[in-house]
Structure 1
Amino acid sequence: MADDWFHHLSLDIQTEILKKLPVKSLIRFRSVSKAWRSLIDSSKFITDHSFNNRRTGPNRLLLRYVDETKGSDFEYVSIIDDDDDDDDDDDDSLSQKEVIHTDTIPMYDDILVDKPYSIIGISQGLFCFYNFYESTTSVIWNPSIRKSVAIKMPNNNNNNMLYRPMEPAIGFGVCPRTSDPKLIWITSFQNWKVEVFTLSSGTWRSSISSCNWPPERVIVINSKQVDLDGFIYWYAWEIVYVDDDDDVGGKKKLLNNCIISFDLTTEEFKQVYLPRKLLAPNFLTNPAINVTISKLRDSLVVVENTLVVGEQVYGVWMIKQHGGGSVSSSSFTKLFTIGLGLPDACIESVLGFRKNGRPILEVKSIIYGNGNGNGNGNGYGNVINNLSDMVTYEHTNNSKQHISHLGIIMYGKRVISFVSSYVETLLLLDHH
């Protein structure tokens, strides 16, 4: 029960104080009085609190992984991500772990039951799930208030199994001007088509002018998206034709890497041009090289994955300017390279970045058997590759590596890990 002195304050002052409180406190305070419940549940308060919390609220990391010793279901852990750069311990300063139970995610069409569902995107504390292979429904989930909403998706008429994992491309983000969650559905392999869903209207529309679309030679790939400052970014391919050395006067088609952005407010697409180093090849022409996009603090980064002498090495490139506009290739600068150089461990993937800028890696340990019985003849026995660890990585000025463990150990031959930063929000509380 709130103290009497607080009730003597004007409602405006009470509102300003409540706006600064964490989400879990506000959920409890809804039971204090009908007036407070009405205030906290109002769309204006939810929007104002979300805006304030994005600027001042604590940053959190959501970690998703599979531990096959506990079953095949995903486990979710939320961790407060502080900005401590002076932590020299072997264990990183992510001690405040909270297991998130997923029983508030509706299992419509069984899309989240024993299916390879994906996290489409994260925006302003909301998460969007979708199963590209079988589902007709997506789910928007707020883990902070344990509430979710199911969205009926457009029909996917693409029956080509080669393209199906990559089309349609789906985007998710919250409009910074209206705090209205949006879903974007893009087909681009044959004929461009764009549809947009807003949660406030509950309907899909295809009224975006084609003059705002990227060129038809661009194919948006349904991979990890990045939501940043009111824009959604996707990894994409641009079709280009170059001289064919094997056919005098002929041309051959290449697929260059690029990035496409979508303004959640104006609903305009723009193209981000990559430096030549990152243009090509992509994994279709050279499986040893691949690029992905991510977010480091408040900047867009491109992570280049290259196989060097049998080891996966990752280069991190940051865009020096963003805002969704057409960005030139000269706007990128390389920050650092990640490589373990260890005989008993390899980097599976760069999952994301901490608030202090350190990359979060999934590292797979190479464990040898005792060499008895069915060994491989080298005295070490069979290689057992079923133990993975989430770690943070720091490359110091004296060329030394510092690896800190997050305390997440994953067992299983196929580990699907995901890490994303977010802030808690009240969004969806007023949705019925």
Structure 2
Amino acid sequence: MCSFQSCTMKQMAVDRKTPFLPEEIIRSILKRLPVKSLIRFHCVCKHWKDVIKTPSFIADHLHHSTHQSPSLLFQENDRHPLQLRLLDCEMQVREVRNTPLIDSSSWVKIIGSSNGLLCVAINEADVYPASILLWNPATGEIRQVPRTRTIDRFDWDCTVGFGFSPIINDYKIVRTYAESGYVISGVEVYSLSTGSWKEIELGNLENVNLYLQTVSANGAIFWNGIKLGVEEGGEDDTDLIVSFDIAMEVFTLIPMPNSFSKLGVYDDKLAVLSHSRIGDFPNYLCSFIDLWVLEEGIGSSTKRWSWTKKCTCGPLPSALNLGVIWRNEIACVAFGKPRLVSETRDEIENDEPKIGLYLFSITTNEFKMIAIPGCGSGRDVFNYVESLVPLGNNHIEEP
């Protein structure tokens, strides 16, 4: 018995000197956990804390979350408080808590979402342009973006875009100015890595104006835009898409497949959702959504861009606001009282309003509705993924 106890004690002593699991397995387990758990694990041991804060682990965790746990983020309205709800990959809805402290009189708008970071514009009374902050809801980290320009005149329009470039591993904010709501007259770019703004050349943005809607994909930021005709009675205004290469900091004009479209991202490519309704306003019978994907080729400027229609979803409820493309589905927010093609007039008049999120499968053309508490018209929808991406240079380097 004594010999057995002595052998056991020696084995336990050896075990204490070696890791219980190989490093690769520990990292593989940790990258599958939610951010909230990983933050708690900072207290388990210094080694785990160091692993979790390394850039390579943050990248591995982001890659896994992006492909396994994508979510949808909903902004309740444009007024403070910033009310956000999250639909996770398991189709559960929860409220996003601990939002940034913002003055109650401010107008708040989420500009964009990239790798778990949100770009938020805050429009305060008598202050122009809007202030901007970057926020990681999962970690709670907030970074106030410095204000570089204050304009007393309120006849200036400002358009903001936000995105990430894997080539330079940097997040950038682009802000354009257009006097009196017309063509762009100035552009500023903010870099998260340097923490500063700089002015850049307009390039080919002459006689171009941008709409507020923006998306980001593959190291570029995109806006719906319009190129104004140069002379009266001459060239007509042209709808187009404006692309900003985050690494090179240059603008490109891309022809649009059709007008009045919503930008999106499908299979890591720029996409356009176009919405058509059947029937007479306001009593439309149904609607259809076309999905177009941009294929970038090589050739002359007129033949470089090619749009391919991937699918047509429908017939669908008529009263829908186009949202985003999420998990091979098109997410739309219902407004008013959507009418389904299969419903009779009595069912439409007597049924409760169907307010919420509609998901339309790109592959099967089937759709489903998910109730979102407090969901109403005008709600913005964003692709989102929880991440450990920091907003400063406070992560440690690789050991």
What TM-score comes out, normalization by structure 2 length? 0.75
Residue 142 (structure 1) shift: 1.2
Which residues in structure 2 correspond to 1:378-417 (within 5 Å)? 388-394=355-361, 402-410=366-374, 415-417=377-379
Q: Is the 8 A contact 1:387 1:411 kept in 2?
A: no
Corresponding residue for 1:88?
none
1:304 equivalent in alignment to 2:274:
yes
1:53 equivalent in alignment to 2:64:
yes
Residue 138 (structure 1) shift: 1.0
Residue 14 (structure 1) shift: 5.2
1:256 to 220, 224, 238: 238
Corresponding residue for 1:286?
none
1:138 equivalent in alignment to 2:132:
yes
Q: Is the 8 A contact 1:156 1:168 kept in 2?
A: no
Does the C-alpha gap of structure 1 residues 154 and 72 become closer, same or farther in structure 2, counting only changes over 3 Å?
A: closer
Q: Is the 8 A contact 2:143 2:391 kept in 1?
A: no
Which residues in structure 2 correspond to 1:109-258 (within 5 Å)? 110=103, 113-132=104-123, 134=125, 136-157=130-151, 159-161=153-155, 164=156, 167-188=157-178, 189-190=182-183, 192-206=185-199, 208-210=200-202, 213-221=203-211, 223-240=212-229, 251-252=233-234, 254-258=236-240
Q: Is the 8 A contact 1:127 1:140 kept in 2?
A: yes
Q: Is the 8 A contact 2:111 2:119 kept in 1?
A: yes
1:349 to 302, 310, 321: 321
Alpha-carbon separation, structure 1, partners of 2:72 and 2:288: 22
Paired residue type of 1:408: I
SS state at 2:228 partner: strand
Corresponding residue for 1:85?
none
Paired residue type of 2:39: I
1:99 to 79, 95, 98: 95
SS state at 2:224 partner: strand
1:80 equivalent in alignment to 2:88:
yes
Q: Is the 8 A contact 1:175 1:265 kept in 2?
A: yes
Alpha-carbon separation, structure 2, partners of 1:330 and 1:125: 30
Q: Is the 8 A contact 2:52 2:58 kept in 1?
A: no
Percent identity between matched residues is 23
Corresponding residue for 1:423?
385
Residue 24 (structure 1) shift: 3.1
Residue 363 (structure 1) shift: 4.1
Corresponding residue for 2:11?
none
Corresponding residue for 1:89?
none
Corresponding residue for 1:333?
308
Q: Which whole-Å deviations, capped at 9, do the CAs of 1:105-153 have from their partners, x for residues lacking one?
A: 232xx2xx35432111111111111135646421211122222222123
Residue 324 (structure 1) shift: 12
1:291 to 237, 261, 285: 261
Which structure's CA Rg is the greater one?
2
Q: Is the 8 A contact 2:135 2:141 kept in 1?
A: yes
Q: Which whole-Å deviations, capped at 9, do the CAs of 1:66-85 have from their partners, x for residues lacking one?
A: 5xxxx98554222233xxxx
SS state at 2:160 partner: strand
Q: Which whole-Å deviations, capped at 9, do the CAs of 1:201-237 have from their partners, x for residues lacking one?
A: 221112x355xx224022222x221111111111111
Does the C-alpha gap of structure 1 residues 99 and 51 become closer, same or farther in structure 2, counting only changes over 3 Å?
A: closer
Q: Is the 8 A contact 1:130 1:138 kept in 2?
A: yes
SS state at 1:28 partner: helix
Does the C-alpha gap of structure 1 residues 183 and 309 become closer, same or farther in structure 2, counting only changes over 3 Å?
A: same
Q: Is the 8 A contact 1:231 1:323 kept in 2?
A: no
Q: Is the 8 A contact 1:366 1:384 kept in 2?
A: no
Residue 173 (structure 1) shift: 1.2
Corresponding residue for 2:397?
none
SS state at 1:388 partner: coil
Q: Is the 8 A contact 2:271 2:292 kept in 1?
A: yes
SS state at 2:378 partner: coil
Residue 273 (structure 1) shift: 0.9
1:271 equivalent in alignment to 2:262:
no
Does the C-alpha gap of structure 1 residues 13 and 408 become closer, same or farther in structure 2, counting only changes over 3 Å?
A: closer
Q: Which whole-Å deviations, capped at 9, do the CAs of 1:391-427 have from their partners, x for residues lacking one?
A: 2235887xxx744121215466xx3312222222111
Residue 264 (structure 1) shift: 1.5
1:63 equivalent in alignment to 2:56:
no
Q: Is the 8 A contact 1:391 1:406 kept in 2?
A: yes
Q: CA RMSD in A?
A: 4.0
Paired residue type of 2:370: L
Alpha-carbon separation, structure 2, partners of 1:392 and 1:177: 33
Alpha-carbon separation, structure 2, partners of 1:407 and 1:5: 53
Does the C-alpha gap of structure 1 residues 182 and 386 become closer, same or farther in structure 2, counting only changes over 3 Å?
A: same
Residue 238 (structure 1) shift: 1.0
2:48 to 17, 21, 36: 36
Alpha-carbon separation, structure 2, partners of 1:428 and 1:5: 33
